[in-house]
Structure 1
Amino acid sequence: MTTQVPQRVPVPLDAPLPRFLVARQRFVDDAVRDPATALAEELRRVGAERLFGPGQRIAVTAGSRGIDQIATVTRALVSWLKGRGAQPLIVPAMGSHGGATAEGQLEVLASYGLTEAALGCPVRASMEAVEVGALPSGYKVYCDRFAFESDGIILVNRVKPHTILVGELGSGLLKMLVIGLGKQVGADSIHLRGLQENFLPATRVALARVPVKLGIALVENSFDHLSRIEAVLPDGIEEADRRLLALARSYLPTIPFDPLDTLIVLRMGKNISGAGMDPNVIGMHRRLGGPPTREIGRIVALDLTEESHGNAIGVGMADVITERLRGKIDLHATAMNAVTSGFLGGVKLPLALPTDREAIALALKPYDPARARAVVVRDTSHLDTMWISEPLAKVAGAMPALVVEGPPFELRFSPGGDVIGGP
């Protein structure tokens, strides 16, 4: 007996969906208005001019994340170094991202405007790394060869909560040092041996043996706008990472409803979160397992950002996706990230439906449209505005930090079944 697989999943296109209202969270936008001036003031504050001189080759790190104003900050830093006679060069510091190839990492940097033409200095990409030390656990510490052989390194990175690391350290300058500059071999090594337990000892080995001269720590606010630039001397990097992580956590936006029946995510991607969708928002258990940290019945992800360059790590945390998203996946880039991070569950492919309309209908299928607790977000990073179903609007009335705007509306779809507009 042969089982026929239907070409289309039998989800009625006219299945009723909840009505939604616009909800806006009250966040303070304390963005840095002039990043170049703020950077110059920070460099003066720590006396950075005494650290750099004529002819010195200074490696400036650049990562794979979409950081607000990163091209402006990097360009200003390069200009400042050249003004002191130094010879800056940009070094990709992104572990195995970009498909674990030099060409792929250059492509990632170019998508953020970090090119030789835009910055006025060379960009040197290589996957070659130098072993600089080891831990008793067997973890070996590596550093990008261009950076290691330079006269000094400036670490530039955003400080924010990590998708694996818990506690007082997350993504920041130290992560850029041991994982970003460690290239694929370094990232592989630390994830294999255990990131949480080896991270801090590895950073201390690296700081002792790698020519780090300065750190530039960046913090974004709840609107993903650059709100803090801080220059840090090497002996203060660990303290700064801890202190600024607490600040970054205070800015971290959330979805203020728990439980949810369905979460509709219009787009996911590496520039949104290292895990595609931030587990700090959707529930860390979807990333690490264990008891649920928040209750969301079903998550549907509709698209993958262009800035992800096909890397769909984290797609496995969704329950339903679209064929459009599936068609954008670069299996090699995604596999490299999964193998390096050990996040194999993050690349399991959910059921893919032909259109947004069908994917959303399937995610909402178990729930009464009049009672469904559903939220639509642009992505897990931009949560200042969201669409909430009518039952949630009643709950939101008791939340002073939330403003709900009516009247209720139905989701609009193109003739092809794709969502029109978004939060």
Structure 2
Amino acid sequence: MGFPKWRRVRQHFEGPVVEDIPARVEAELRRVLAVADAPQREPGGERGLAQPCVWPGMRVAITAGSRGIANIPLILQSVVRTLKQLGAEPFIVPAMGSHGGATAEGQREVLESLGVTEAFCEAPIRSSMDVVQIGTTPQGMPVFMDAYAAAADGVVVVGRVKLHTDFKSPIGIESGLMKMMAIGLGKHRQALEIHAYGVPGIRDHMPEVAKVVLASGKVLCGLAILENAFEQTAHIEAVEPARIPEREPELLRLSAAWMPKLPVDDADLLIVDEIGKNYSGTGMDTNIIGRIRIHGVPEPERPRIQYIFARDLSEASHGNALGIGLADLTTRRLLEKIDFQKMNEQALCSCSQQLGFVRVKPPQFQSCWPKFVDEA
């Protein structure tokens, strides 16, 4: 049979890069937290959404998610060092919903696989699946918070702002600080509450849950991270609690402008070398591949790809291959790496069962290549 001719194509993307991450993190946190005329309060006192402040001995929880964010160990280390300079006693809490098999040890392992360790970040990691209820949304949904974070004097919410892979928000709240406060800090219990409603849960209820977290007065600030098309740190910005709901949509638009995309809208075959939770919550970014495969969610109009072939699963995923259902074919190598308990736990929790479907698995790529060419 004849094979088509090949031509190498190079894409060019533009986007800024933060050159000195520790300096930027410190400058941003000091801009928001180290305010000379900030209204003081006694430890344990009510602050609500007033100007945040840090006092000597203040116990501050720092959120750490499960995504493979560029430079996240260095960013968290810089947050820890800055808070210590301000007199606080910081510690890190895993904020990742049901990830890590929905266990405390599993979530600690996820952080360690990302390079987020106590030794490097210079702060203890306090991992637990225990939560406390801190309120209720106007719609009647209970709001939970990680027990360690709830017992702290304040929380610094660290998270990447980007387009979500499951839905498009009419208010511009997708994957970012609001989601970190709602599902990340709410752990498995809150994830179950929100995902029980399917896509409307995360699209409509998640922002309301985050607002209750903000109203609790626990959040000192958010530290938003944006990346460019090369997965480099492009922007770091500290945001006051009261401004997070209005600022996050603006940051989302900026993040979307810097995202990579395929060079064509129509393709016969897309070969994905590696999928994984460190790349996207759905293993591979649905905004780039043009597939969502979630009940009730319309598929993107473009790009239009006939076949997607997923070759391997990242080690950082710890066996969670959720998103394999977006591919048409895969390999035995990938299948042997899957921890079905972890993947199924998250698939059921997030009502994304289709993303866990395993499709055709040829013994080797060469065996399916003629089929691709014939049908193209």
Query: Normalising to structure 2: TM-score of the pair?
Result: 0.89
Match of 1:27 in 2: 13
> How far apart in 2 are the matches of 1:20 and 1:49?
59
**Unaligned residue ranges in structure 2 (runs of 5+):** 37-52
Aligned AA for 2:122?
A: G
**Alpha-carbon offset, residue 293 of structure 1:** 2.1
2:265 to 230, 236, 258: 258
> How far apart in 1 are the matches of 2:86 and 2:30?
13
Match of 2:335 in 1: 326
> How far apart in 2 are the matches of 1:361 and 1:101?
44
> How far apart in 2 are the matches of 1:363 and 1:268?
21
Aligned AA for 1:30?
A: P
Counterpart secondary structure, 2:349: helix
1:284-342 superposed Cα distances (whole Å, 9 cap, x missing partner): 44345535523211111111111111111110111111111111111011011101111
| Distance of aligned partners of 1:141 and 1:98 in 2 relative to their CA distance in 1, 3 Å threshold | same
Alignment partner of 1:189 is 2:193: yes
Match of 1:175 in 2: 179
1:60 to 42, 59, 62: 62
Match of 1:304 in 2: 313
1:222 to 214, 229, 234: 229
Alignment partner of 1:313 is 2:348: no
Q: Is the contact made by 2:113 and 2:316 (CA closer than 8 Å) also made in structure 1?
A: yes
Counterpart secondary structure, 2:288: helix
Aligned AA for 1:257?
A: V
Tell me which moved more, 249-258 or 153-162: 249-258
Q: Is the contact made by 2:97 and 2:188 (CA closer than 8 Å) also made in structure 1?
A: yes
Alignment partner of 1:140 is 2:142: yes
**Alpha-carbon offset, residue 279 of structure 1:** 1.0
Q: How does 1:108-257 map to 2 (within 5 A)?
A: 108-167=110-169, 168-193=172-197, 194-209=201-216, 211-257=218-264
| Distance of aligned partners of 1:233 and 1:192 in 2 relative to their CA distance in 1, 3 Å threshold | same
Q: Is the contact made by 1:320 and 1:353 (CA closer than 8 Å) also made in structure 2?
A: yes
Match of 2:46 in 1: none
State the number of aligned residues.
353
Which entry has the higher C-alpha Rg, 1 or 2? Answer: 1
1:104 to 103, 106, 110: 106
Match of 1:417 in 2: none
Aligned AA for 2:177?
A: L
Counterpart secondary structure, 1:130: strand
Q: CA RMSD in A?
A: 1.7
Higher strand content, 1 or 2? 1
Query: Normalising to structure 1: TM-score of the pair?
Result: 0.80
Q: Is the contact made by 2:292 and 2:326 (CA closer than 8 Å) also made in structure 1?
A: no
Aligned AA for 1:305?
A: S
> How far apart in 2 are the matches of 1:104 and 1:257?
39
- Larger RCO (CA within 8 A; separation ≥ 6): 1
Aligned AA for 2:301?
A: T
Percent of residue pairs bearing the same amino acid type: 43
| Distance of aligned partners of 1:189 and 1:41 in 2 relative to their CA distance in 1, 3 Å threshold | same
| Distance of aligned partners of 1:149 and 1:345 in 2 relative to their CA distance in 1, 3 Å threshold | same
Q: Is the contact made by 1:320 and 1:363 (CA closer than 8 Å) also made in structure 2?
A: no
Counterpart secondary structure, 1:59: strand
